[in-house]
Amino acid sequence: MYIIKQIPEDFLVWEIPKIKKEEEGDYAYFWLRKRDYNTIDAVRVISEKLKLPLRNFGFAGTKDKVAVTEQVISIRGITPERAKAICEKLSFKSIDLSYISQGKKPISLGDLRGNKFKITVRNLPEQLEIKNLNKIPNLFGPQRFSENNIEIGKAIVKKNFKKAFDLINQNYVKEYLEEHPGDFIGAIRQTPLKLRKMYVNAYQSFLWNKTAEAYLKTDYSEKKTIPLIGFATEFNDNAVDEIAKDIMEEEEITQRDFIIPQMPELSSEGGERELFMNLENFDVQYSIDELNKEKYKAIVSFALPKGSYATVVIEQLFFFYNC
């Protein structure tokens, strides 16, 4: 079986940001460099050290834990003078900040152009000839889902707010409910908005993966888009539509379930997503694997647009050795 992330340095990620630098503004932009932390946990550490609420922080996407990654984050209410002191205070082995500039807008989910990757794939028995780079399914990767994200998102969509509360299981959520018995919606709202949206998005991503995987069993030849189910999703392809509607029936949901009157900020209209990835600047170099005796390693470099997952690329390219 091939191995990725045997050490964090085997998985290097550089975000390709989309920010407008300003000399002044309410938001300070920083490069966040982290090792062996996922983005949310790293931001929580920074939040605690700076004694600032999580709602003051913004980021464009979640990056892997077992990795070394660089991405841009925004922090509201930080002046350039304070930013320099923050960088010195938060420079340690696993998390490091460097100041970029001020900005007038927070960084929100999706505010990036894409990501560049350099990934070491280990424990290979031989050097593999890479083929079919233009036919890699654009599936959502496992880091999209994390622990319980799909179940929390489905519970919110189904308006089962008690179940969503139970699954979130954070102290600050429990503390709110102790002071406001029975107010599960208020308790869930103690979670930062970007995280609440991620729960619903995770469930939509799960549905998309199921739809795409079922469709690819019938047709692997044509580039097309697959619907991302929401309350306003339009179905225009009979073959895909039938699969998506069967999955909704299995899940016991309808499109209107994605209208959430109790938390309208989480309502999602849906959209569409390309079935195959757009992989750029691909390169692979083989050498002897120094961590696994008598095996090869492949150092794979490429760039992906936002929303596409490098782990899926590796899984598809080296699936032959994934057993």
Q: Which of 10, 36, 41, 64 is labelled catalytic?
A: 64
Assess contact for 222 and 265: CB atoms under 8 A.
no
79 found inside a domain: yes
Assess contact for 102 and 77: CB atoms under 8 A.
no
User: Which residue range forms the structural domain that includes residue 167?
Assistant: 142-274
8 found inside a domain: no
Residues 132 and 281 in one domain: yes
| 21, two tokens | 């630098």
User: b/e map of 160-171 (b: 16 or more CB within 10 Å)?
Assistant: ebebbbbbbeee
11 found inside a domain: no
Q: Look at residue 322 in the predicted model and tell me its pLDDT.
A: 58
Dihedral angle computed from the Cα positions of residues 130, 210, 307 and 312, in that order, rounded to the nearest 10 degrees: -30
78 found inside a domain: yes
Residues 263 and 303 in one domain: no
Q: Is 220 helix (H, G, I), strand (E, B) or coil?
A: coil
Residues 270 and 160 in one domain: yes
Q: Look at residue 22 in the predicted model and tell me its pLDDT.
A: 92
Number of separate domains in the chain: 3
Place of tokens 């077992």: 66
Backbone angles phi, psi at 82, to 5 degrees: -70, -30
Assess contact for 150 and 253: CB atoms under 8 A.
no
Q: Look at residue 323 in the predicted model and tell me its pLDDT.
A: 46
Residues 149 and 267 in one domain: yes
* Residue 41 falls in the annotated catalytic set: no
CA-to-CA distance for 181 and 187, rounded, in angstroms? Answer: 9
Q: Look at residue 320 in the predicted model and tell me its pLDDT.
A: 62
Helix (H) or strand (E) holding 167: helix 161-168
Residues 149 and 53 in one domain: no
Residues 106 and 118 in one domain: no
Backbone angles phi, psi at 62, to 5 degrees: -90, 135
3 found inside a domain: no
Backbone angles phi, psi at 160, to 5 degrees: -95, 75
CA-to-CA distance for 291 and 124, rounded, in angstroms? Answer: 11
Q: Name, in order, each residue with C-beta under 8 angstroms of 269's C-beta and a sequence gap of 6 or more.
A: 230, 231, 232, 233, 258
As a whole number of Å, the end-to-end CA separation of the chain is: 5
Largest CA distance in the chain: 61
95 found inside a domain: yes
Residues 31 and 65 in one domain: yes
Residues 287 and 177 in one domain: no
Residues 182 and 266 in one domain: yes
CATH of the domain at 34: 3.30.70.3160
Q: Which amino acid is at 281?
A: N
1 found inside a domain: no
Residues 90 and 151 in one domain: no
Assess contact for 139 and 212: CB atoms under 8 A.
yes
Q: Name, in order, each residue with C-beta under 8 angstroms of 213's C-beta and a sequence gap of 6 or more.
A: 137, 139
CB atoms within 10 A of CB 120: 21
293 found inside a domain: yes
Residues 210 and 255 in one domain: yes
Assess contact for 203 and 153: CB atoms under 8 A.
yes
Residues 124 and 106 in one domain: no
Per-block mean pLDDT, blocks of 10 residues, the chain (323 long): 94 95 94 93 92 92 91 95 86 88 92 96 90 86 86 98 94 92 96 90 97 92 91 90 95 97 97 94 95 95 94 87 54
